[in-house]
Amino acid sequence: MRCRSTRCKSTRCKSMRCKSTRCKSTRCANLRDANLCGANLRGANLRDVLGNSDNIKTIQTDFWLVVYSHNAMYIGCKVYSFEKWWNFSDDEIDDMDCSALQFWRKWKDVLRKIIEISPAAPTRQIESVAS
């Protein structure tokens, strides 16, 4: 599988976990064991991130990976504040992807409950979601 980054053409890249030393793209950065304490992740692409189960939490569903922080939720490649997610109309969700509405009808209440009983802790540097 080729790395999805336009700057990396390595065939050794596996699911965005680039192991090639030729890759200079930050999209393939290996942050394993990195200390991001206090890091401002505003605008960061957290797609497919696993999180630390404290500030960033991950839920694996049958279709999309869901990642959430204290104030935002990433579903696939879409990121919005919780308020926006919970208030989207069916038409708005349907416009996101051809499978989005079916997914959302199945998972919305489940995700809301999980986030309610297991919220992510804020980082020291509070970010805001612009979307």
Q: What is the pLDDT of residues 8-40, one digit of tens each?
A: 444 444 444 444 445 455 556 666 677 766 777
Tell me the backbone φ, ψ of residue 71, rounded to 5 degrees: -135, 5
DSSP 120: P
The pLDDT, as a whole number, for residue 15 is 42
Residue of higher predicted confidence among 49 and 52? 52
pLDDT at residue 1 tops 70: no
Joined together, the tokens standing for residue 59 give 């839920």
Which element (helix H / strand E) includes 97?
A: none
Joined together, the tokens standing for residue 78 give 């879409």
For the entire predicted model, the pTM comes to 0.62
Q: What is the pLDDT of residues 88-109, one digit of tens each?
A: 999 999 999 999 999 999 999 9
Q: Which residues pair with 59 in a beta bridge?
A: 66
For the chain, what are the domain ranges?
1-30, 39-117
The pLDDT, as a whole number, for residue 128 is 55
Joined together, the tokens standing for residue 62 give 């049958």
Residue of higher predicted confidence among 62 and 50? 62
